[in-house]
């Protein structure tokens, strides 16, 4: 059996090799025909490879830990288009190579929605990259050669979906604006982007002062884009106030 296990591993049938004794026992007990055994092996190998593929895509996506949309309080925001959010979670925009832009003040769940959209894309078999605007631009600016920078551009252009979180929290110089413009241009009308921002588009030139590409950048983002605006008070502020009230009540008793 050890020789057979090694041969199965060499052939790439690692799940079968790891569970060979159990598989032989099961086939003997159920008196499977050769065809039934082969069907079982094909099904278990396919399931295991799908599981490993999902794990690899999740690890590469760098989505990190996030709350499920089952925990999202739809009643808290003063304004939110639930139908549009649910369409985004169904990846309707991705099928058309459109963009998705989530516009909301801090603490209203735009990052949570973006992470759930990214996760659904991974589950659907897509390659996904999730990172903040600061991380993206730091990675691009850190390249010390034209070849290295071009390799990064190709890396961020190849993924089925790129999610750029937190655009608008920091200001960037003209070089950063040009680098972001390159990413957006290379994906324009080819592959989708998900962007989250705390600023209306009219305020985006302030993120990239003195950048001549700012207007063209916005133009490419919003063309063929689903824009979801969320309004209201911060979830986190509400939770902090509730926790503070609870502490006061406990102190009073």
pLDDT value of position 166: 93
Q: How many residues does the chain have?
A: 253
| CB neighbour list of residue 165: distance below 8 Å, 6 or more residues apart | 111, 114, 130, 131, 132, 133, 195, 196
Domain map of the chain by residue range?
2-61, 69-237
**Per CATH, is 69-237 categorized as 3.40.50.300?**
yes
Element (H, E) at 177: helix 174-187
The reported pLDDT for the residue numbered 167 is 93
Closest by CA position to 182, among listed 225, 202, 211, 206: 211
Compute CA distances 36 → 12, 14, 56, 217, 231, whole Å: 21, 19, 30, 57, 57
Q: What pLDDT score was predicted for residue 120? A: 97
Q: How far apart are CA 107 and CA 119, in angstroms?
A: 20
Residue 2: the pLDDT is: 74
Identify the pLDDT of residue 25.
Answer: 94
Segment holding 63, helix H or strand E: none
Helix axes 110-123, 82-89, angle to 10 degrees: 30
Residue 154, pLDDT score: 96
CA 25 – CA 177 distance, rounded (Å): 62
Pairing assessment for the beta strands 161-167 and 128-132 based on DSSP bridges = parallel
Other Cβ atoms less than 10 A from the Cβ of 168: the count is 18
HSE, side-chain direction, 13 A CA sphere, residue 101: 20
pTM summary value: 0.81
Residue 105 CB neighbour total at 10 angstroms: 13
Dist. CA 163–CA 136, nearest whole Å: 10
Per-residue pLDDT tens, the chain, 253 aa: give them: 578 999 999 999 999 999 999 999 999 999 999 999 999 999 999 999 989 999 999 999 999 999 999 999 999 999 999 999 999 999 999 999 999 999 999 989 999 999 999 999 999 999 999 999 999 999 999 999 999 999 999 999 999 999 999 998 888 888 888 899 999 999 999 999 999 999 988 888 888 776 677 788 889 999 999 999 999 998 766 666 656 666 666 666 6
């Amino acid at each position: 059996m050890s020789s057979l296990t090694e041969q199965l591993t060499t052939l790439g049938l690692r799940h079968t090799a790891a569970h060979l004794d159990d598989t032989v026992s099961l086939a003997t007990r159920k008196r499977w025909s050769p065809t039934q055994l082969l069907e079982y092996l094909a099904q278990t190998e396919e399931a295991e490879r799908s599981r490993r593929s999902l794990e690899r895509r999740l690890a590469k996506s760098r989505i990190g830990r996030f709350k499920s949309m089952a925990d999202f309080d739809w009643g808290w925001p003063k304004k939110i288009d639930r139908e549009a959010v649910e369409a985004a979670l169904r990846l309707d925009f991705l099928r058309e190579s459109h963009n998705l832009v989530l516009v909301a003040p801090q603490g209203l769940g735009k990052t949570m929605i973006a992470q759930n959209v990214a996760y659904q894309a991974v589950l659907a078999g897509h390659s996904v990259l999730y990172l903040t605007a600061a991380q993206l631009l730091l990675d691009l600016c850190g390249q010390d050669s034209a070849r290295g920078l071009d390799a990064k551009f190709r890396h961020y252009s190849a993924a089925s979906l790129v999610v750029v979180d937190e655009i608008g929290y920091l200001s960037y110089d003209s070089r950063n604006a040009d680098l972001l413009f390159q990413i957006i241009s290379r994906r324009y009308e080819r592959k989708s982007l998900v962007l989250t921002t705390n600023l209306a588009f009219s305020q985006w030139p302030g993120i990239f002062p003195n950048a001549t590409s700012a207007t063209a950048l916005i133009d490419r983002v919003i063309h063929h884009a689903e824009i979801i605006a969320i309004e209201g008070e911060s979830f986190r502020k509400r939770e902090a106030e509730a926790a503070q009230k609870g502490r006061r009540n406990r102190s009073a008793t």
